[in-house]
Amino acid sequence: MLSYEESLKILKESKALIEGHFILSSGLHSPSYVQCAQLLSKPEKANLICNSLAEKIKSSFKDFDLILSPAMGGIIIGYDIGRILNKETIFSERVNGEFKLRRDFSIKKNNKVLVVEDVITTGKSSLECSKLVNKAGAKLVGYACIIDRSRGKSSIKGNIISQIELDIPTYTKENLPKSLSSIQAVKPGSRNL
């Protein structure tokens, strides 16, 4: 398994973790921004992270049948973890603002399901996936992600297995430290278009 330092180095080298002044989709400001799509676009680096995360998942979740990931960010990581662990992998996608299973994907009653995604911050997408699991009469075994940046403040009950935990501070516009207020802010991310 990769160490924290090795994982952090890979994230920075792949530009999945960048430094600057960012306005997040929440409206908060941050000195760091996480974009796992950059990591996943570099198969050699992504493979190192995914293999390490798969080892952690095997150690923590001994028995599960299915991986469920939220679209878009979780699709690639879910697939790769499923490939490594030889588990069926499906994804949910938003329809009228609500996660649904489409494309003839289904969760069978009594399936043991692991929710896998790229980054967990508030836990909103993961919790929406867990509702699909419960609705199907299946059993949620837990959550896994590349980056856990929830700092224990997500609404998720129980453990989150992650490759790396990052404590990235956020600030309101009125409460910016000098180090950020002197840098031009940019709005990355899909919800800021």
The mean pLDDT of 1-26, rounded to a whole number, is: 91
Question: Where in the chain are the domains?
Answer: 4-192
pLDDT for the residue numbered 192: 44
d(CA 12, CA 1): 18
Residue 177: its H or E element: none
Q: Identify the band that residue 143 occupies on the pLDDT scale cut at 50, 70 and 90.
A: very high
140 Cβ contact partners less than 8 Å away, ≥ 6 residues apart = 113, 115, 130, 133, 134
- Provide CATH code, domain 4-192: 3.40.50.2020
Identify the sign of the CA torsion 58, 59, 64, 66: negative
Task: Give the model confidence (pLDDT) of 150-186 as tens digits.
Answer: 877 777 877 799 999 998 888 898 999 988 888 999 8
- Give residue-wise pLDDT tens across range 129-140: 999 999 999 999
Q: What is the pLDDT of residue 193?
A: 47
Q: What strands, in cross-sheet order, belong to the sheet with 98-101?
A: 98-101, 88-95, 66-70, 112-120, 139-148, 160-165
Stated pTM of the model: 0.87
Give residue 127's pLDDT: 87
